[in-house]
Structure 1
Amino acid sequence: MKNVLIASYDMEVGGVERSLASMLEAFDYDRHAIDVMLCRHQGDFMDLLPDRIRLMGEIRAYSTFRKPIREIFTEGQWFLGLSRALSKLQADWTGRRKGLSEPGYLQMQLMWKYALPFLPRVEQSYDAAISYLWPHYFVADKVNAATKIAWIHTDYSMVEANPELDLAMWDKFHYIVAVSEACRQSFLSRYESLSSKLFVIENITSPAFVRSMAGGPAANPMDRDSRFKLLTVARLSHAKGIDQAVQALKLLRDRGFPDIAWYVVGYGGDEALIRDLIRGNGLEDSFILLGKQTNPYPYIRSCDLYVQPSRYEGKAVTVTEAKIIGKPILITNYSTAHSQVVDGYDGCIADMSIEGIADGIQRLYRDEALRAHLAGTCIHTDYSNGSELEKLYSLIGVRKEGA
């Protein structure tokens, strides 16, 4: 029996959190005892954690990473509050000086750099410790484990970061897992020296679970809408390109397509900006934010076309889920896009621009036969991949019997 720690932030609604829940559900508990450490015990996906894991108690110091800075000071955690404030000021200054579009990753690096001296260690030792999402620095510096594994879910070629800080942290891991080959290659474009540590393990998906959830409550606003319905499931953030989606829909309306409605399931820090864009373009009746939904699958079932307008991705869980439900898909040409769909076979890839997104939607709106072809390909493809866990077992040091 191997003792394994898996660390993440929380179980808020998101693709990474869904993939973590799927992996935990599929784990071999006859060979592994799993402890899960969450910085905060919060999120609508907490109920997806299987009964066979042991959820560690929330540690007060680590819970600060999902709290506003003002609240941290109010709680009397002065050093952690100062570390957050200092990292924000330094990242904002560096971002302005270098013209960075999104200095959030750099801020996160600095936050951990300044906070680490004030964070407690985990006393128990483990055979393996897995950092599934940030905090990678937590597992690197505050956990004793014979094997340390870090997961990467994003396109690192698009991330603005301090390479020296990252390399010092990555050196403390034995293995780094990318969720796709394209994600692996994008990471190596930034950190070529780490190639010997890098492996690919795809997000674990359960087609049976996705299809059963898609057959949930029949009534949602999309079912009452007779227009051609687009859907995106994503955080409201710069990376996901929802701002470009609003402008693409405005362009389509200007081209003479008033009967297209775009629905978005998700929430995030850019909501106010996106709502301003919607109002500014007069799209209140056709670009509709549905907010956080714990079960996005009925919404995917109800759409005519699933669209992922992202600026960058590692491997979008929602795209695979839309395939499982059998929907035609359009994604932008982010650097890992070709690991998600084969253009014209099980999805289409649009140029990453407002015009490119609009052109792709216009093409699929007009071409019902192409939409049917894409959907048919997806319906007849088996997306189950529980065997991917065998790769993780081999890194941990245990394989299932017969593997």
Structure 2
Amino acid sequence: MKPSILIFSQAMELGGVERSLLGLLDAIDYDRHDVDLFLMRHSGELMPYLNPKAKLLPEIPQYASLAVPMVSLVKSGQLGVLRGRLRGKLAARRFDRKHPGEKPSVTALTYSHKYTLRSMPQISDKIYNLAISFLTPHYFARERVKAKKYAAWIHTDYTALTFDRSAELAMWEGYDAICGVSERASKSFQTAFPELEGKVQTVENILPKELICKQAEESQNDMLSKGSLALLSVGRFCDAKNFDNVPDICCRLVADGLDVKWYLIGYGGDEPLIRQKIDEAGMQKRVIILGKKDNPYPYMRACDLYVQPSRYEGKAVTVREAQMLGKPVVITSYATSGSQLEDGVDGVIVPMDNAGCAAGIAALLRDPARMQQLSENCAKRDYTNSAEVEKIYTLMED
């Protein structure tokens, strides 16, 4: 009998975590392993790209109900989930009031899972060799899946977040292995939870190169720079991605004499803030929000420079995707940037502040030979990390 793996995640909306899950599913050897995939919600633009060799388990209403308005839970009779969500929401408010700070809080999300756990049914009757919880919070996979070994993934920089340490420590302690998507993400987790250091290892994101390159060949008609240099950033419109500072950075580039247009692909709660900043900077014709795109790769292929201006990251999948398509990339000096690329070889790291970021981008845009060299270096490298799947197989060993 082949070893069995259960992978638990939330949905397949547009995002780096979801695309790295596609890569993982494509990299697994299905002749040697049976794989079940459980998604809390069977929704998202990336659902059609799931590898059919992985068995998609049925959606379970209680899990799906975490993403619907609370009033809907009354109509559907999910009163246990409703009570848990209300308790979690109130507890998160109390925690955040007691622990104010500049770092974004993940407490509300953590508590929404913690306090609804008792209402969640078992996911499967099978006993798996390995259960993987691919996206935090990690309560459900550990408590509602039967497995011989459990592994949980880290996709972010824990030192950049506000979180309930005692609650999260209890959650993480239930796992045999804790896998960071970069060395820096692993180290930041060890800084936050030194007592778990022995469980932590690094498993890099695996990317589906064939799919990315195929999709990049499709046409796009709304990124027409008409002689301007085209900059592109892709990601959720949230604090971590720092898109709210793009208008000011772009304004500085224009003031420096550069004819640029900066395109933003994505969606999220920060869109009104970004639009406000565009208006304040007078960049309405320079910073262009393209919104959500099922396929961002034709835009990556068409841009002159890919920019990731993040405040913090675990490891940005979009940067790797742009490099895979042979594009020069610029990233800001967030804490994990050193594990994202080799500065000056397959990308450039610029300062986090707007003035320094603009100066670094301007210097690169004025050096076409350097941009070409970055592109050539990217083309020579393998960014799929497909060999990382072997580390996952070893997680099943005693």
Tell me how far apart the structure 1 counterparts of residues 306 and 367 of structure 2 sit (CA, whole Å).
15
1:181 matched to 2:179: no
Label 1:160 to 1:187 Cα distance change in 2 as closer, same or farther (>3 A). Answer: same
Mapping for residues 16-165 of structure 1, pairs under 5 Å: 16-101=17-102, 103-122=104-123, 123-165=125-167
Which range moved further: 231-240 or 125-134?
125-134
Q: What's the CA shift for 1:88? A: 2.9
In structure 2, the residue matched to 1:196 is 198
Tell me how far apart the structure 2 counterparts of residues 92 and 101 of structure 1 sit (CA, whole Å).
16
1:12 matched to 2:32: no
Q: What's the CA shift for 1:104? A: 4.2
Tell me how far apart the structure 2 counterparts of residues 333 and 68 of structure 1 sit (CA, whole Å).
38
Q: Secondary structure at the residue paired with 2:223?
A: helix
1:372 matched to 2:372: yes
In structure 1, the residue matched to 2:357 is 357
| CA deviation profile, 1:140-177 (whole Å, cap 9, x unmatched) | 22211110010111111112111111111111111111
Q: Secondary structure at the residue paired with 1:21?
A: helix
Mapping for residues 260-299 of structure 1, pairs under 5 Å: 260-299=260-299
Tell me how far apart the structure 2 counterparts of residues 377 and 53 of structure 1 sit (CA, whole Å).
34
Q: Which runs of 4+ in 1 moved over 6 A?
A: none
Q: What's the CA shift for 1:135? A: 4.0
| CA deviation profile, 1:92-114 (whole Å, cap 9, x unmatched) | 44434433345541111221221
1:326 matched to 2:333: no
In structure 2, the residue matched to 1:171 is 173
Residues 182 and 314 in structure 2, CA contact (< 8 A), matched pair in contact too: yes
| Count of matched residue positions in the alignment of Structure 1 and Structure 2 | 396
Residues 245 and 277 in structure 2, CA contact (< 8 A), matched pair in contact too: no
CA RMSD of aligned residues (A): 1.8
Tell me how far apart the structure 1 counterparts of residues 62 and 208 of structure 2 sit (CA, whole Å).
35
Percent of matched pairs sharing the same residue: 41
**Structure 1 unmatched ranges of 5 or more:** 399-403
Structure 2 counterpart of 1:154, one-letter code: T
1:236 matched to 2:244: no
Tell me how far apart the structure 2 counterparts of residues 175 and 71 of structure 1 sit (CA, whole Å).
37
Structure 2 counterpart of 1:283, one-letter code: M
Structure 1 counterpart of 2:40, one-letter code: C
Which range moved further: 108-117 or 146-155?
108-117
Structure 1 counterpart of 2:291, one-letter code: G
Residues 209 and 324 in structure 2, CA contact (< 8 A), matched pair in contact too: yes
Tell me how far apart the structure 2 counterparts of residues 220 and 104 of structure 1 sit (CA, whole Å).
38
Q: Secondary structure at the residue paired with 1:44?
A: coil
In structure 2, the residue matched to 1:401 is none
Which range moved further: 22-31 or 89-98?
89-98
In structure 2, the residue matched to 1:314 is 314
Label 1:69 to 1:364 Cα distance change in 2 as closer, same or farther (>3 A). Answer: farther
Q: Secondary structure at the residue paired with 1:221?
A: coil
| CA deviation profile, 1:11-55 (whole Å, cap 9, x unmatched) | 001111111011111211112111111110000100111111111
Residues 327 and 378 in structure 1, CA contact (< 8 A), matched pair in contact too: yes
Residues 12 and 43 in structure 1, CA contact (< 8 A), matched pair in contact too: yes
Q: What's the CA shift for 1:70? A: 3.5
Tell me how far apart the structure 1 counterparts of residues 87 and 270 of structure 2 sit (CA, whole Å).
23
Q: Secondary structure at the residue paired with 2:13?
A: coil
Tell me how far apart the structure 2 counterparts of residues 299 and 307 of structure 1 sit (CA, whole Å).
13
Label 1:285 to 1:179 Cα distance change in 2 as closer, same or farther (>3 A). Answer: same
Q: Secondary structure at the residue paired with 2:38?
A: strand
Tell me how far apart the structure 2 counterparts of residues 312 and 21 of structure 1 sit (CA, whole Å).
23
Tell me how far apart the structure 2 counterparts of residues 233 and 153 of structure 1 sit (CA, whole Å).
17
Structure 1 counterpart of 2:275, one-letter code: R
In structure 1, the residue matched to 2:335 is 335
Structure 1 counterpart of 2:371, one-letter code: R
Label 1:144 to 1:339 Cα distance change in 2 as closer, same or farther (>3 A). Answer: same
Structure 1 counterpart of 2:152, one-letter code: A
State TM-score, norm by structure 1: 0.93
Tell me how far apart the structure 1 counterparts of residues 342 and 94 of structure 2 sit (CA, whole Å).
41
Tell me how far apart the structure 1 counterparts of residues 157 and 70 of structure 2 sit (CA, whole Å).
28
Label 1:281 to 1:206 Cα distance change in 2 as closer, same or farther (>3 A). Answer: same
Structure 2 counterpart of 1:105, one-letter code: V
Q: Secondary structure at the residue paired with 2:267?
A: coil
Q: What's the CA shift for 1:77? A: 2.2
Residues 244 and 353 in structure 1, CA contact (< 8 A), matched pair in contact too: no
| CA deviation profile, 1:153-211 (whole Å, cap 9, x unmatched) | 11111121111111111111111111111111111111111111111111112433322
Structure 1 counterpart of 2:287, one-letter code: F
Structure 2 counterpart of 1:388, one-letter code: E
